Amino acid sequence: MLRCFSLTLCLALAAATARSATIQMNDGRTLTGDIGQTSGVADDPTRPSPSAGEVKVTPILIIDDGLRRTFVNKFRVREILDAQREKPIVIDVWQDHAEHGGMVGAVGRQLRVTPFDEFGRRIYEMQAAGGSIAVVQGVTEVTPTYTRVRGLNAEPRSYVWDQRLATSSIPRETLSSILQNAVPENNPDARLQIVRLYLQAERYIDARRELEGVLEDFPQLEDLRDELRQLRRLGAKAVLDEIELRQAAGQHQLVRALLENFPASEVDGKTLERVREMLVALDEQDARVTRTHELLGQLVDSISEPAVKQVAEEIQAEITQELNAASLQRMTAFLNLADGDALDADRKAALAISGWLLGANQATDNLASALSLFDVRTKVVSYLREPLAGEREKLLIDIRDSEAGDVRRVAQLLKLIKPPLPLPDPAEDQPGVFELRTPMGSGKGDVRYLVQLPPEYDPLRRYPTIFSLNGAGFTPEMQLDYWAGGAGPDGLRRGQAMRHGYITVAVDWLEPHKYSYDFTTTEHQAVLAAYRDAIRRLSIDTDRVYLSGHDIGSEAAWDISLAHPDLWAGVIPVLAAADKYIKFYTDNASYLSWYFVCGELDGDKIEQNAYEFDQYLKPKIDTTIAEFLGRGHEPFTDEIQRLFDWMGRKTRPNAPEEFEVHSMRPSDNYFWWVEFQELPEKSMVAPSAWPPGRGVKAARLRGRRYPNNKLGVFAQAGKTTVWLSPDLVDFDKPIEIEINNRRVTDRKNPIGPDLRVLLEDARTRGERNRPYWAKLEHP
C-alpha cells in the first residue's frame, strides 16, 4: 500500500514538474514554487538528456519560488496541496539597470550595505580579490515573495548582477515608499495592485492602510468599502494568530494584555468568540492558582506537629512564590480531591506537596513521604552543585538513607527541579542577556558564552534553545542579533527567537585573529562545555536544542553535530563547506535533521558540497537545502521565519533501535548509550596530520537493541561503557549485554538502578530529563 502511495505521489510530482505548485512535506511544512527534479544539486539543467537506454534518476525535488531554490528528497513529500495557485502580483520598478559591465559571478563577504532609499537604491560593498568593490543596486521588481535587485549603471564602473531578497525582509516604511514611487499616484488601478500584493503576502494591515489611502484619494471607489472591512477582519485574525503563538511560547502576561486590548470593530464573530474563550481560560487558570494558594494555606495551618508544620510552611512559601501557568498542572491531583471528604487534611497536604515535587501523576497522600521528598530534593540540588567529591559522598549517603531516596523518585525529582546552578546578574542595558564563562576542562581555560532569554522566562518551564557559532570576523553578539533581533532603544530584542519563546546561546568559540575552523578537540570542547554549563543554569528542553553557525561557525556546527549526533534536535549550517571529518562521517548524519542555507554566488560552495549534499538528500536523511538566487557570503536573515517553522517541527528522537557511526578522533566516542575508550590508533587521525594515509578507514561503532531486554555493542575498543536507562531497558527484568557477540553480564549479579550513577550522570552531563540509571564497564 505504501509503495502504491509513493508511486502515485511520484507521478503527481512528475506532472507538477516545471509548473507552480504547493507541496506538503512529511513534517507538515509547505513549500510553494516552480517544481523541478534533479539527480544532484550541482547538476547543470542545460546538460543533454541521457543517451538511449540510460535512465536518469532524479530523486531530488527543487522548489523555486523566485527567491531561493529549496532542495528536498521527493520521498519526503506527503502530498501536493495546490497545483494551480494564484498568479502572484508583480510590480515593476524602473531603474537604469546595467546590461554591460563587470559580471558578478561570485559574491564575497559583506563589508557594507546601505539601506534602500525611497526609490529602491542602495550600495552593496563586498570583499573581492585585491580589496573590495562597491555595487550600486536598485529594486526592479517586487512580488509577494521576493524583490528583485539588479546592478545599476554607475561611475566609475557598472556591474551586471541579478539578486533576490525576501520582500518580507525590507522594512515596511521603506517598501511602502518604493512601491508608491513605482506606480502613478493618480492611477487607482496601479495603486490597487499594491493592495493586492500586500494581500497575497498576507500583510493585511499594510493592505488595509494602502486601501484606506486609495479610498481617500479616490472617493468614487466607495464599493471597495466591503474589501476594507474584510481586510480588517483578516488583520484581526492575524493578530489572534500572533497571540496564540505567544501563548504557546509561555508569554501569558503579554497574551492577556493583547487579548484585553483586542480591536472589536468590524471583527467577525468567530474571532471575537475565540478571544473571549482565551480570556475566560486565563481567568480560570488564575482562579485555580489562587484557589491552590488558599487551600494549601488552610491545610498547612491545620498541621499540629511544630516540626512538620515548619517544613510544610517552607514548601508552601515556595509554591506561593512560584506556582503559575507553567507549573499548575503539577497540582491537578490535589485540586481534584481538595474539596472532597475522602482525604483528611494531612493527606491533602501530602498530595499538594508531592505533586509539586514529582508531578500530579506521581503524587502521594502520605505526608511523611511528601516531606521526605522535599528533603531529598534539597540534598539532590546540593549534590549537583557540590564541587568536592567527599562532600558529594556524604550527600549520597544521606539521600540513600531517606525514605524517598530511591532511584525512581530521584529521577522524577530531577525532571522537575529548577536548573541547579545560578545565573549571574543580567546585563544592565539589555534585559534577559547574560554573559557567562565556564572551564573547558583539561587545563584549556574558560569559554565565554552569551545568553538571551525569551520574554517572561520561567525556570519551571522547558524552552527550546539555539546554540549559535559565529564566523570569522563576527562576534557572538551578532549571533544574538541574528536569532533574537537587534536591541532596540529600550534594550529589548523583538526578533523571532523572542516571538517563538526560544533561548539563544552564542558561544565565543573562536580564538582571537582566527579565520579558519581546524576540526580540533579544543574547538569541540569549547562548544560542548558551554552546552553542559548552559543546561545546568537554564531551563533548556534538551530534546529541542538546535546547533547552528555561520561561515566557519557553520563548519564547526556541521562537524560537532556529526561527532555528537545524540545531542541535537536539528542542525542549521549557514554558508558551510564540507571538509575533513565531515566527508568521512556521512553515516552519522542519518540520525539528525539538517537545514543548510547557502548562496548561489558564494564561490564554489555548491560544487564543493555537492557530493555531501547529494548523499544527505537521500531518503534516509532528513535534509532541506535553501540556495538563495544571486546571493553570496551573507547571513541570510530572509530565511529565519522558515527556520523557525522547521525547528518547531523537529524534536530529538529517542535512541535508535540500532545505530552505526564512524569516528576518527578519540574524543568522538560517546553515542547515545555507549561510550568507547582506546579506539584503534590506525583509524584515529589528528587534524594536524590531515589528510589520512591511503587505506585509513574510520572506526566503525555499532549498537543494537534486541528483544527480551538485550543490548549488543560491536566495536574495536579497549574499554566500553554501556549506559542504561528505563528508555532502553526494563530494570524489573534480567538485562543481557553482549560486546562483540560475547556476553558480559553476570546472571548471578544482575544490573540494577544505581543512585550514584544517576546523580553523577546528572551532575557531569547536566542532562536531567534523560539521565542514566546504571552502567556496565568492560573490561
Bond preceding residue 156 cis, omega within 30 of 0: yes
Residue 715, φ and ψ in degrees, nearest 5: -170, 155
Q: What local confidence, expressed as pLDDT, does residue 211 receive?
A: 96
Given a cut of 70, whether residue 326 has pLDDT beyond it is yes
DSSP letter (8 states) at residue 682: G
Q: What local confidence, expressed as pLDDT, does residue 342 receive?
A: 86
For residue 585, what is its C-alpha cell?
A: 562521517
CA distance linking residue 179 with residue 91, whole number of Å: 8
Q: Residues near 184 by Cβ (< 8 Å), separated by ≥ 6?
A: 190
For residue 68, list its beta bridge partners: 628
Average pLDDT over residues 555-562: 99
Given a cut of 80, whether residue 56 has pLDDT beyond it is no
Average pLDDT over residues 402-419: 97
Given a cut of 60, whether residue 18 has pLDDT beyond it is no
Pairing of strands 710-714, 774-778: unpaired
**CB-neighbour burial class of residue 370 (10 A; exposed 0-12, middle 13-18, buried 19+):** buried
Q: What local confidence, expressed as pLDDT, does residue 133 receive?
A: 94
Residue 735, φ and ψ in degrees, nearest 5: -105, 130
E strands along 395-462, which residues? 433-439, 446-452
Residue 477, φ and ψ in degrees, nearest 5: -60, -35
Residue 193, φ and ψ in degrees, nearest 5: -60, -35
Given a cut of 90, whether residue 13 has pLDDT beyond it is no
Residues 257-267 as b/e (b if ≥16 CB within 10 A, e otherwise) read: ebbeebeeeeb
CA distance linking residue 585 with residue 324, whole number of Å: 45
Distances (CA, A) of 201 to 26, 88, 575: 24, 9, 27
Please identify which residue in the block is written with the cell numbers 540513600.
400
Q: What local confidence, expressed as pLDDT, does residue 83 receive?
A: 62
Q: What is the mean pLDDT of the chain?
A: 94
Q: State pLDDT tens for residues 676-705.
A: 999 999 999 999 999 999 999 999 999 999
Average pLDDT over residues 106-120: 95
CA distance linking residue 779 with residue 775, whole number of Å: 13
Please identify which residue in the block is written with the cell numbers 527567491.
67
- CB-CB contact of 416 with 459 (8 Å): no
For residue 208, what is its C-alpha cell?
A: 488595509
Q: What local confidence, expressed as pLDDT, does residue 650 receive?
A: 99
Percent of the chain with pLDDT over 90: 89
Which amino acid belongs to residue 313?
Answer: E
Given a cut of 70, whether residue 121 has pLDDT beyond it is yes
- CB-CB contact of 79 with 49 (8 Å): no
Given a cut of 70, whether residue 67 has pLDDT beyond it is yes
- pTM here is 0.94
Helices (H), 154-260: 172-182, 188-200, 204-217, 225-248, 252-260
Please identify which residue in the block is written with the cell numbers 540510460.
54
Q: Residues near 244 by Cβ (< 8 Å), separated by ≥ 6?
A: none
- Could you tell me the domains of the chain? 2-47+56-82 (2.30.30.100), 90-182 (no CATH), 185-267 (no CATH), 291-416 (no CATH), 433-653 (3.40.50.1820), 659-778 (no CATH)
Between the two ends of the chain, the Cα-to-Cα distance in Å is 48
For residue 64, list its beta bridge partners: 34, 69
Place 7 in a pLDDT band, splitting at 50, 70 and 90: very low
Distances (CA, A) of 288 to 98, 216, 314, 509: 67, 50, 21, 46
Q: State pLDDT tens for residues 484-542.
A: 999 999 999 999 999 999 999 999 999 988 999 999 999 999 999 999 999 999 999 99
Q: What local confidence, expressed as pLDDT, does residue 2 receive?
A: 39
Q: What local confidence, expressed as pLDDT, does residue 9 receive?
A: 45
Q: State pLDDT tens for residues 638-663.
A: 999 999 999 999 999 999 999 999 99
Average pLDDT over residues 52-65: 77
Average pLDDT over residues 432-461: 95
Asked which of 262-276, 394-408, 702-716 is least confident by mean pLDDT, the reply is 262-276
The separation between CA 597 and the C-alpha centre of its own chain, rounded to angstroms, equals 15
- CB-CB contact of 211 with 227 (8 Å): yes
Place 441 in a pLDDT band, splitting at 50, 70 and 90: confident
Q: What local confidence, expressed as pLDDT, does residue 169 receive?
A: 94
Q: State pLDDT tens for residues 216-236.
A: 999 999 999 999 999 999 999
- CB-CB contact of 349 with 487 (8 Å): no
Q: State pLDDT tens for residues 281-310.
A: 999 999 999 999 999 999 999 998 999 999
Given a cut of 80, whether residue 312 has pLDDT beyond it is yes
- Is the model more confident about 757 or about 10? 757
Given a cut of 80, whether residue 594 has pLDDT beyond it is yes
